[in-house]
Amino acid sequence: MHSMYFTEEHRLFRESLKDFLKKEVVPHLEKWEETGTIDRFIWKKFADMGYFGLATPEAYGGLGLDLFYTVILLEELQKINSGGFAAAMWAHAYLAMTHLNKNGNDYQKKTYLTPSVHGEKIGCLGVSEPFGGSDVAGMRTTAIKKGDRYIVNGSKTFITNGVYGDYTILAAKTDPSAGNKGISVFIVDLKSKGVTANKLNKLGWRASDTAELAFDNVEVPASNLMGVENKGFSYIMEAFALERLIMGVNAHARAEYALDYALQYMSERETFGKTINQYQALRHRIADLYADMDICRQYNYAVTYKMQKGEYVVKEATISKLRSTKMADEVAYECLQFLGGYGYIEDYPMARLLRDSRLGPIGGGTSEILREIIAKIVIDKKEYKPSKDL
């Protein structure tokens, strides 16, 4: 299936991953959904299987595999129907670790990246703020240099892994008067003096911990500055392309899971002497939903292919997230309807899937912000360039 992008090695990896998730993760999901805490042992098991190091070079403990292995990981995580568990895993591996892979120096990679690959340290990304949301340039958190340290003050919110994680990749203003040209990125240990975390109560993604982080005169060694001071905005924008493609892939996989479950249910549910998958009105709704899902899926694979080749896909990744998350919301809504009253019962998967899916058009850049980015590219001819070209 999908042989244009996936090899036999990819297929074998997918089967092994599905077996691992079924045996090692699924039996614990209900507990983690109820407690909002993912047991630490599973992080180590994930690491032992190499799942945190798919995109990390072998020199730092990873496997250095192509991006379609990441796509497989994302897809199969969605199909065990815990958006929170999936988010905790990919936020660590592809939000925090992406910055370490891309912009970390050798010391930072050995100190944070390699332990992250091995599941010994859990990372998160600290960009969004209580008063800013998607307005990255308007962030208020500051990092003022004093000698060989930076003093960090401010707050971040909606931070996946922020409560139980070990470090955050933190964006802060090192030159508050310079707007987006005064932002830098740091690695901050979450056990540092002056860091506090408040756990947020969410509609969905319940298995994952989501924090509001506060920083009160937190001392950060200058050696934990990532890349070049005041170049952080470009690093963040570059990483957003991957994050938005990830959320697009998550969305099409979530929709595929919802459709598969609904089709199975409809093939067994009988009314008026026949299964409900024989009613033309429902069949045609399924056809439309499947077509929308497959369009997004094929588009996301094409964008992944371009990113794998090294192309800068800001526009394409933004479109991926915008359209795929909207589609997944519609599919989740309709598939819950196909189950009738059972769709509203938590014992069936659609209620959770609908709650989890709703974050798609919000997290990682709201759909409103994404439309503005696309408008700037298409109408204003704005060019977004990789950090190395700035």
Which residues, at least 6 apart from 101, have a Cβ–Cβ distance to it below 8 Å? 55, 56, 57, 109, 113
Rounded distance between C-alpha atoms, residue 127 and residue 238, angstroms: 13
Which residues, at least 6 apart from 73, have a Cβ–Cβ distance to it below 8 Å? 17, 51, 54, 90
Spatial contact of 59 and 295, defined as CB atoms under 8 Å apart: no
Phi/psi of residue 150, nearest 5 degrees: -115, 140
**Whose CA is closest to 90, among 243, 204, 281?**
243
The strand pair at 167-173 and 149-160 is best described as: unpaired
Active site (annotated) includes residue 229: no
**Whose CA is closest to 143, among 94, 182, 117?**
182
**Whose CA is closest to 178, among 134, 127, 128, 231?**
231
Which residues, at least 6 apart from 280, have a Cβ–Cβ distance to it below 8 Å? none
Rounded distance between C-alpha atoms, residue 110 and residue 57, angstroms: 12
Q: Which one of 243, 256, 316, 334 is the catalytic residue?
A: 243
**Whose CA is closest to 159, among 363, 330, 309?**
363
Rounded distance between C-alpha atoms, residue 371 and residue 365, angstroms: 10
| Token digits of residue 310 | 């090294």
Spatial contact of 210 and 162, defined as CB atoms under 8 Å apart: yes
Catalytic residues: 243
